[in-house]
Structure 1
């Protein structure tokens, strides 16, 4: 697969007079291709694809949400909120209505990711200064560990087939965050990147062959793509801004990301082929 930066004008959207979103912390392209789910200033929003236009807030104004993901049909989404001395994983409905509580934990849980069949959710669980990945089976409510290390793991994402999870990890001897691939059936973990840079926010392509992620290999963060076997590392963006939170169009022909500009965050989409 070859990649190029589109020559067409980038698609921008303003969320106010400043010309950008404030404090954007996640981005997810809906499986139907119609919407973008994103969090900014502690609220979870749904806007038109590919640039987040005409956003409407999904979560209540009195809750703080920094991360959300859509379910496989695009009609529901998951997010986590802190409540007093515990954390709650919720499922909300794009059409509206009361959210459904999926899991409650005294340990800090964050960064949920939904499997392609909608039956499992990967979570980051933090206890005593370390984080591990856990898998929640929605049917049974069972939560089981996927990693048990003294290190840190973050931002999991399922492969389209549901057999793999890619994640970022800060492991022993590593100078910064790297990417790892976990096979669910065996529990084996393969390291995809090994470098002194900040590799973060990995997302599988719809065909499962590529992984897009943020990396500051030039000093400023760009979006890169790499094959699932660790080969073919290629820059996807090359600019002076921080580019983060990559997410694929369901067709795989475009890759969206957020870019931190002087007037705030903007959501851009560029073509792939």
Structure 2
């Protein structure tokens, strides 16, 4: 499963995963429990798988016109994720990245002409890095024992922008260390990203050309997966600052002055994403308060925004499949949801898309 865990230090997060400045009480598990009958039909319609033919695929994002997606996938015969685009009208995957190195977190520019992504293809020991990973995977096949999943904070990872018409690749970050998890603001002028350039993974924002870099967070632990709000005032992200390996959802103001926790529970909450037009945030979460390995499902929160804060509101559970459901994103018009799931015949992670019904719409229809 891609990105279930990202190690925030040389030590990997336990798969038990992956400064509150407000008096707001964040949400806890159990505000809406799953019933014996699946709840998914309330919110998800016309569910369909949109990727196949890859060892695994995930973390997909829509083009501005909603007609294409960009995502990462592990292709046959290569050990690391690469970046691909694909038309939603029966198109085949087209390679965006160089075909070498670890890649992640691709995102379209607002005009849909270029693609942002992170890559380690400039690793001076790239051949050895590939051979070492191939050898590890072969050993796992022979032994039948798989490594506990963790995300590598590859120190050679930088953020690049590819012009899809010319193929030109422009490097936007050059600092030593991991620079990745980038996404554009809605107006296309800024990029929020994660970097461990100061020795600890924190959030940064920069102009679209890589200039004017500003650090937003500096708490101990991992801060990552940032997305700028539709109005450009806030950045939503995940952090394990409260307890290592247990991620919670936060927002920070675009100037870095205010931070607010939106979740506070014994679990892992990650991959938050804004709805483009309505006051909702969706994310993936799992309850770790009980023994055993919990399942990852999608959760939706309604929030209230004022001039200086965001108040967390009611939470709904969106999926309750026995498969893992993670990395949810809304389409540009807000009518569809795409996410990564293992609800496939072979249990590999692939991308799924569904028509999305909001809780208030569902309640209205039921009256």
Instruction: Give the TM-score, by structure 1 length.
Output: 0.76
**Structure 1 Cα separation of the partners of residues 192 and 51 of structure 2:** 27
Q: Which residue of 1 aligns with 2:189?
A: 163
Residue pairs, 1:123-134, within 5 angstroms: 123-126=117-120, 127-128=122-123, 129-134=155-160
**Partner residue, 2:232:** 208
Change (3 A) 1:49 1:250: farther
Counterpart residue number, 1:120? 114
**What is residue 38 of structure 1 aligned with on the other side?**
none
Is 1:178 aligned to 2:172, yes or no?
A: no
Structure 1 window deviating more from structure 2 (134-143 vs 206-215): it is: 134-143
Larger relative contact order (CA 8 Å, sep ≥ 6) = 2
SS at match of 1:200: strand
**Match of 1:57?**
49
Closer, same or farther: CA 81–100 of 1 in aligned 2, 3 Å: same
Alpha carbons 1:257, 1:268 under 8 Å: kept: yes
Q: Which has the higher strand share?
A: 1
Counterparts of 2:81 and 2:237 in 1: how far apart (Å)? 27
Alignment of 1:5-154 (within 5 A): 9-10=31-32, 55-83=47-75, 84=77, 88-126=82-120, 127-128=122-123, 129-154=155-180
Q: 1:269 maps to what in 2?
A: 300
Q: Which residue of structure 1 lines up, in the alignment, with residue 280 of structure 2?
A: 254
CA distance in 2, matches of 1:187, 1:145: 12
Query: Does the 8 Å contact 1:216/1:222 carry over to 2?
Result: yes
SS at match of 2:250: strand
Question: How far apart in 2 are the matches of 1:5 and 1:249?
Answer: 19
Q: Matches of 1:167 and 1:238 in 2, distance apart?
A: 23
Say if 1:65 and 1:147 are closer, same or farther in 2 by CA, change over 3 A.
same
Deviation at 1:227, TM superposition (A): 0.8
The answer to whether the 8 Å contact 1:134/1:143 transfers is yes
3-state secondary structure, aligned to 1:171? coil
* CA distance in structure 1 between the partners assigned to 2:201 and 2:42 by the alignment: 30
Q: CA deviation at 1:105?
A: 3.1
How big is the alpha-carbon RMSD for the aligned residues of Structure 1 and Structure 2? 3.2
Partner of residue 355, structure 2: none
Q: Which protein is bigger by CA-based radius of gyration?
A: 2
Tell me the CA shift for residue 232 of structure 1: 1.6
Q: Name the CA shift for 1:87/1:248 in 2 (closer, same or farther; >3 Å).
A: closer
For structure 1, the 5+ residue unaligned runs are 20-46
1:225 equivalenced with 2:251 (yes/no):
yes
Q: 1:87 to 1:254 in 2, by over 3 A?
A: closer
Cα-to-partner distance string for 1:82-108 (whole Å, 9 max, x where unaligned): 444587532112333323344433333
Task: Summarize the Cα distance change of 1:140–1:226 in structure 2 as closer, same or farther, 3 Å threshold.
Answer: same
Unmatched segments (≥5 aa) in structure 2 = 1-21, 124-154, 288-292, 305-367
Taking a change above 3 Å as real, the CA distance of residues 76 and 193 of structure 1, as seen in their structure-2 partners, is: same
1:68 and 1:240 map into 2 onto residues whose CA distance is 27
Between the two proteins, the alignment pairs up a number of residues equal to 240
Deviations 1:182-221 (A, max 9, x none): 1124612111111212101001111111100001122131
Alignment TM-score, normalising by the size of structure 2: 0.58
